[in-house]
Chain A
Amino acid sequence: MAQSNPAVSAKPQSASRPVREGSPWKGMWAVVGKEMADHLSSARMVVLEILVVLAAIGSIYVATQNISQNVSQDRFLYLRLFTTAQDPLPAFAALLAFFIPLVAIALAFDSVNSEFSRRTLSRVLAQPIYRDALLMGKFLAGLFTLALVCTALWLLIFGLGILRLGVAPGGEEVGRALWFLVATIFYGGIWLALAMVFSVIFRQPATAALTSTAVWLFFTVFWNIIAGLLAQSLSPIRFGTLGELLAQANLQLALARFSPNTLYAETMIALLNPETRSLGILLPTQMEGAILGSPLPLSQSVALIWPQLTGLIAATIVLFALAYILFQRQEIRA
């Protein structure tokens, strides 16, 4: 079923190749404009957006109810909107972690292969643009659409919050929410780039969609289990010393961080729970001098998630580069 592209020609870039004429990004904004218009009007995106918005409203509604009942005086009321869960609805942040990859995959799984199957690719590439502009334009259009959807959701949360809680959000809260927005967009960027890679590799959009979803499922469901098993076998506990226990836990965490879901979850925790002081395993000695439960300033929370955030961005870039290389090597006959 996985019909891969037959027309990948072995075409080593000749060493003597001169500098290319003109800018590789010429025409990119035309591509971005067209693709974004497509995304925003496509039935697929409309359905997904309605779904996301409904889920968001549901979880925020429940959260505001919960908050106004329990905690009346809280510095971070609005952040609680993101994190408060009440059965049967999960917290909004958890919903995001679930929905964002799906939206991203839906945006990109047929971005390149559909141009092949509609036979529009050679017509577009016969215009004075490079392939770089086409691929980058498609990626940016996906990212901007994602950013648009997320921003709309954020505004919705704050709007609902003001309506239901009757207090204005504080600057610190807004700042944290904005950082979280950035992290969410790049978390989506990873899945966008991944789906794009598969849309270059597989000629069938359905294959690309299935494969992308399979990878997402793997990281969502299985990777933590695998990381635990790997850590147990690679760093076994023989004598039960503290050092052994620590080594295994650290290894498990390190392995888990290969998953974008872990990176995103850690970012979410540190940004939305200002009390979070560390994302690793915490020893009592490290807690000395810290007042438990006292929130960190935003700058320190950001410093805490900096590696995670750069990890998310780096993964996005690496995956996009992969899609780019594969696309450059393809022969366009359609």
Chain B
Amino acid sequence: MSETVLETRDLTKKYNSFVAVDHLNLQVQAGEVFGLLGPNGAGKTTTILMLLGLTEPTSGSVRVLGLDPTRQPLSVKSRVGYLPDQVGFYDELTARENLTYIARLNPIPTPQLPARVDEALQRVGLREVADKRVGTFSRGMRQRLGVADVLIKNPRLIIMDEPTSGLDPEASLEFLEMIRALKREGITILLSSHLLYQVQAVCDRVGLFHKGRMVLQGTVNELAERVLGGAYRIQLQAEGDPQAIQSALQRVDGFRNIRQTGENLYTMEAARDLRPEAAQAVVQAGGRLYKLDVQTQSLEEIYSAYFKEVEHGTVQSSRVR
């Protein structure tokens, strides 16, 4: 299971003196969905281009399925699917013609070609519009066509650059479902995004990029713990002496960052779901418990909290593995 599909070692890309990617170390295991996160200009696209051999690294090494993309670009590109940021098609051609061209480039043997194209269109639900010109397609349909385009070569690894940008919420959800389906088939996926809740919804692990460096890496929970002090946020509403309730909560082992967030409202972070302990503490302090909630942290919060810390200079590059 834990076969490494993708590995970079001190991967660096400089544009003149500007460092776009700085000593990146990344490992993605087979069957995993990995999310590259970062603000605009963080270096996500540059990293992806280097993984595919479309841009040469300045230094460092890349291994994709055990191959070196700069030396064996053809082998890498025949096994890895790439869905670029804002993927484009030949608008005057039909969906089928667009895919046929890509299939010919691969090359898929002519006898199998029509069946493979149909199958790929079927898998993304575009079979009915196969003979429509792509110029008439909506953004969501184009994105799905992009996935069909990638699937046609039966890739073992798919790299997607901002796959849900520009999609409406419903189309995004559909798209994420498609990613899950691909994962179930055993395809490894690397995707970049700044739409955090979506990444959270599908990614097994994420890497947080900032100014060309991978500043955090791990599961969403690990990241939450590292940055926010816990993957679970517990909120409760209780009547009673605030001082007594707070100190009772503080005595419970595992609560961090306890704060009063409104009248009779308390919020805290924990590494586990500690709702029973919270209830017990409130009752022991003589409080009356009205509501008890637990949320898993959204990546959004991790993200903004992290960059707030960066601004205040309280963290340097650190990793969670």
A residues in contact (CB < 8 Å) with B: 9-11, 18, 20-22, 26-27, 30-31, 33-34, 38, 118-120, 122-130, 331-334
* B104 near A30: Cβ-Cβ < 8 Å: yes
Residues of B within 8 A of A9 (CB): 15, 55
Determine, out of B35-43, B80-88, B165-173, B295-303, the stretch whose residues face the partner at the interface. Answer: B80-88
Residues of B within 8 A of A20 (CB): 73
- 25 residue pairs of the A-B complex, CB under 8 angstroms, read A20-B73, A21-B73, A21-B74, A21-B75, A27-B105, A30-B101, A30-B105, A31-B105, A38-B90, A119-B87, A119-B88, A120-B90, A122-B82, A123-B82, A123-B87, A123-B102, A126-B81, A126-B82, A126-B84, A127-B102, A128-B106, A129-B74, A129-B77, A332-B54, A332-B55
Residue of B nearest to A127 (CB): B105
Residue of B nearest to A114 (CB): B90
State whether the Cβ of B162 lies closer than 8 Å to any Cβ in chain A.
no
* A119 near B84: Cβ-Cβ < 8 Å: yes
State whether the Cβ of B56 lies closer than 8 Å to any Cβ in chain A.
yes
Contact of A129 among B81, B89, B91, B105 (CB under 8 A): B105
State whether the Cβ of B269 lies closer than 8 Å to any Cβ in chain A.
no
Contact with A along B158-199 (1 / 0, CB 8 A): 000000000000000000000000000000000000000000
* A22 near B74: Cβ-Cβ < 8 Å: yes
* B45 near A333: Cβ-Cβ < 8 Å: yes
* A27 near B107: Cβ-Cβ < 8 Å: yes
How far, in Å, is A244 (CB) from chain B's closest CB? 55
Residues of A within 8 A of B243 (CB): none
Residue of A nearest to B67 (CB): A21
Known pairs A122-B84, A126-B80 / 13 extra A-B pairs, C-beta < 8 Å: A21-B74, A118-B91, A119-B84, A119-B88, A120-B88, A123-B82, A123-B102, A123-B149, A126-B84, A127-B105, A128-B73, A130-B73, A331-B49
Interface size on B, residues (CB 8 A): 35
From known contacts A27-B105, A122-B84, A333-B49, infer whether A21 and B89 are also in contact, taking CB-CB under 8 Å: no
State whether the Cβ of B71 lies closer than 8 Å to any Cβ in chain A.
yes
Residues of A within 8 A of B86 (CB): 119
Residue of B nearest to A118 (CB): B88
From known contacts A123-B102, A128-B105, A333-B49, infer whether A118 and B90 are also in contact, taking CB-CB under 8 Å: yes
Q: How far is the CA of A124 from the CA of B105 in the complex (A)?
A: 8
Contact of B71 among A11, A21, A128, A129 (CB under 8 A): A21
Residues of B38-60 at the interface with A, using a CB-CB cut-off of 8 Å, are 45, 49, 52, 54-56
How far, in Å, is B51 (CB) from chain A's closest CB? 11
Q: How far is the CA of A164 from the CA of B87 in the complex (A)?
A: 55
Residues of A within 8 A of B15 (CB): 9
Q: How far is the CA of A118 from the CA of B135 in the complex (A)?
A: 11
Residues of B within 8 A of A18 (CB): 71
Residues of A within 8 A of B91 (CB): 118
* B72 near A21: Cβ-Cβ < 8 Å: yes
Residues of B within 8 A of A26 (CB): 74
State whether the Cβ of B16 lies closer than 8 Å to any Cβ in chain A.
yes
* A34 near B101: Cβ-Cβ < 8 Å: yes
Residue of B nearest to A137 (CB): B105
Residues of B within 8 A of A31 (CB): 105
Q: How far is the CA of A23 from the CA of B202 in the complex (A)?
A: 39
How far, in Å, is B59 (CB) from chain A's closest CB? 11
Contact with A along B13-30 (1 / 0, CB 8 A): 001100000000000000
Residues of B within 8 A of A332 (CB): 49, 54-55
Residues of A within 8 A of B105 (CB): 27, 30-31, 124, 127-129
State whether the Cβ of B78 lies closer than 8 Å to any Cβ in chain A.
yes
Residues of A within 8 A of B153 (CB): 127
Residues of B136-163 at the interface with A, using a CB-CB cut-off of 8 Å, are 146, 149, 153
Q: How far is the CA of A38 from the CA of B107 in the complex (A)?
A: 20
From known contacts A27-B107, A118-B89, A118-B91, infer whether A128 and B74 are also in contact, taking CB-CB under 8 Å: yes
How far, in Å, is A131 (CB) from chain B's closest CB? 10
Residues of B within 8 A of A126 (CB): 52, 54, 77, 80-82, 84
Q: How far is the CA of A18 from the CA of B89 in the complex (A)?
A: 34
Residue of B nearest to A29 (CB): B104
* B16 near A123: Cβ-Cβ < 8 Å: no
Residue of B nearest to A14 (CB): B56
Residue of A nearest to B70 (CB): A17
Residues of A within 8 A of B77 (CB): 126-129
How far, in Å, is A29 (CB) from chain B's closest CB? 8
Residue of B nearest to A41 (CB): B92
Residues of B within 8 A of A27 (CB): 104-107
Contact with A along B93-122 (1 / 0, CB 8 A): 000000001101111000000000000000
Residue of A nearest to B88 (CB): A119
